[in-house]
Structure 1
Amino acid sequence: MHIILGGTGHVGSALAETLLERGEAVTVVSRNAWARPAWERKGAHFAVVDVRDVDALRRLFERGRRLFLLNPPADPATDTDAVEKANLRAILAAIEGSGLEKIVAESTYGAQDRDRSGDLGILYAMEQALRAQPIAFSVIRAAYYMSNWDESLRSAREHGKVLSFYPADFALPMVAPRDLGRVAADLITAPLADTGMHHVEGPRAYSPADVADAFAQALGREVDVEVVPRAQWMAAYRKLGFSGAAAKSYADMTAVTLDEDYSIPGEPIRGQIDLATYIQDLVYRS
């Protein structure tokens, strides 16, 4: 049995669907029951568990053999770093003594030993904690999710604008969640000895201008990029509903990406879904 944390999110659901297509047994884990009927119709088991409930989470892990570990994202109106660190501590505690044989963990490009920098520091700490425990594990360091642009659809459709914290011509590695799901499925079903770090991105890097062009093509209207200057990042995040603590963390994380303050060893695994295809499908599903 494969246990999928974050199974109702973009990457977790892509992984669960891929495993089900391959005839694998899957338990999708969520803190809410709303998605249970849909997943059970697909043939998955469904478990409603709060990741902070260590005993309940460990009992769930004991029923499986392999775990997809995705640390749940916090509500940006909270102190996201504090919430996500607490979530991670609980998940790691539940793994102890669970009998799991393998873990595949979702991390991010640029993960590093850094405080108040959102996922970059928290997921680096996750990687280090996994190295210190005995269960076999693989880590996916994922490029910038194409799904991060999903919230731009309404603005693109109604106002012809895509808001970006990066310059319009700044190209960065991006990846579609479905490609991440496929890679995760390969890793979680691989032999126990198949472990290590895996960087995953799409066919090529894309800029916010490319995003605007993809929306324009899919919507049949002109779409431009509205760039938030670096000096206004904090204010812009606060306007979007982020707490002061979350705005600081996300601004620092944005700066690391913009300054390209990280490196990628070797050649990444490349997904097949390009940005135009992803945006076209997003518009179609909406």
Structure 2
Amino acid sequence: MIVITTPTGNIGQQVLEKLLDSGETIRVIARDPSRLSARARERLEVVQGSHSDREVVDRAFEGADSVFWVVPPDFQANNVETRYLEFIRPACEAFKNREVKRVVAVSALGRGWPKPAGLVSASVAMDDLIASTGVSFRALTMPSFMDNFLRQVEPIKNLSMFYSPLSGDLKVPTCATRDIASVAAKLLLDSSWSGSGSVPILGPEDLSHNDMAQILSEVLEKPVRYQHIPFEAFKASLIKSGASESMATGMVDMMMAKNEGLDNMEPRTAESTTPTSFRQWCKEVLKPAVLR
């Protein structure tokens, strides 16, 4: 049996779709089962509730061979690392008590980074806590997602620009969530692996934000520019959008680390190179959203 958390989230939903026809028994933890597709509801078991709840995960992990784990975002969290660790603690107890064999979790690149890195540091701490249970574990370690551009549809559409505090010339990897889901599904269906480790997912190429602006311009057939903004303005925009001081600081620390090379620490290999290019993703996902 495979258990999927966040089955209606961006990555979790795609993992679920890839597993529905696998022949495996699938169980999901969902706060609101009505958000699951009718096709999904016909083919899986549902445990309703939050996967931060001790009773919910204990019930959901009974008989589970593999678990797909994601900590959902909480932009009002009072402490970023505490949020990650307190959210995962009940699940870690259930991994042991229910003798779960394998866990695949969404994490981030950055292990070994010498400075505070906000959400990245919290993800690494979460990975360590999961690994300490003795369960066979794979942390999917990623750079920024291409899908984050969907948050900037309005400025791209109305102002022909997108913004970030990263240097416009810094070439970094990015990956598509569809590729993360493909890697996760493959691991969840594979019963041969054991031990603890990471699986980097780097996309097919390193691009700067200026490179991305050029690609966006070509795909959308209109000029699109990259607007660099100071970290102070980035933090202010997060707080204005409803983020807590701690979450805004965590986001800034993460972006500062990325700007200093955090996402470039992992050497690219054939195994870590995933297929969806930024240009392809823009054509298939972003362009329809901008034109909608």
1:94 counterpart = 2:94: yes
Q: Distance in 1 between matches of 2:113 and 2:133?
A: 19
Aligned partner of 2:288 in structure 1 is 284
User: How far apart are 1:251 and its partner, in Å?
Assistant: 0.6
Q: Distance in 2 between matches of 1:122 and 1:71?
A: 11
Aligned partner of 1:18 in structure 2 is 18
Q: Distance in 1 between matches of 2:212 and 2:30?
A: 31
Aligned partner of 1:264 in structure 2 is 266
Aligned partner of 2:76 in structure 1 is 77
* CA displacement, residues 5-51 of structure 1 (integer Å, 9 cap, x when unaligned): 12222222222212224333322322223412445267343332212
Q: Distance in 2 between matches of 1:129 and 1:96?
A: 12
1:20-169 map, 5 Å: 20-40=20-40, 43-74=43-74, 76-79=75-78, 81=80, 82-112=82-112, 117-169=117-169
Aligned partner of 1:274 in structure 2 is 277
1:204-283 map, 5 Å: 204-261=205-262, 263-264=265-266, 267=269, 269-282=272-285, 283=287
User: How far apart are 1:59 and its partner, in Å?
Assistant: 0.7
Asked if structure 1 preserves the Cα contact closer than 8 Å seen for 2:29 and 2:60, the reply is no
What amino acid is the match of 1:11?
A: I
What amino acid is the match of 2:256?
A: A
What amino acid is the match of 1:213?
A: Q
User: How far apart are 1:116 and its partner, in Å?
Assistant: 6.3
Secondary structure of the equivalent of 2:20? helix
Secondary structure of the equivalent of 1:96? helix
Structure 1 stretches of 5 or more lacking a match? none
Asked if structure 2 preserves the Cα contact closer than 8 Å seen for 1:73 and 1:84, the reply is no
Query: Which deviates the most, 198-207 or 42-51?
Result: 42-51
Number of residue pairs the alignment of both structures matches: 285
Secondary structure of the equivalent of 1:201? coil
Asked if structure 2 preserves the Cα contact closer than 8 Å seen for 1:61 and 1:100, the reply is yes
Q: Distance in 1 between matches of 2:13 and 2:37?
A: 14
C-alpha RMSD over aligned residues: 2.4
* CA displacement, residues 103-131 of structure 1 (integer Å, 9 cap, x when unaligned): 11221111457886432122111221232
* CA displacement, residues 35-77 of structure 1 (integer Å, 9 cap, x when unaligned): 1244526734333221231112111111422101112221x23
Over 3 Å counting, the alpha-carbon distance change for 1:135 and 1:97 in structure 2 is: same
Secondary structure of the equivalent of 1:88? helix
User: How far apart are 1:265 and its partner, in Å?
Assistant: 5.5
Structure 2 stretches of 5 or more lacking a match? none
User: How far apart are 1:143 and its partner, in Å?
Assistant: 2.1
User: How far apart are 1:140 and its partner, in Å?
Assistant: 1.4
User: How far apart are 1:181 and its partner, in Å?
Assistant: 0.9
Aligned partner of 2:9 in structure 1 is 9
What amino acid is the match of 1:269?
A: S
Asked if structure 1 preserves the Cα contact closer than 8 Å seen for 2:108 and 2:140, the reply is yes
Over 3 Å counting, the alpha-carbon distance change for 1:38 and 1:214 in structure 2 is: farther
- The percentage of aligned residue pairs carrying the same residue is 21
Q: Distance in 2 between matches of 1:83 and 1:133?
A: 19
Q: Distance in 1 between matches of 2:70 and 2:208?
A: 26
Asked if structure 2 preserves the Cα contact closer than 8 Å seen for 1:59 and 1:98, the reply is no
Aligned partner of 1:203 in structure 2 is 204
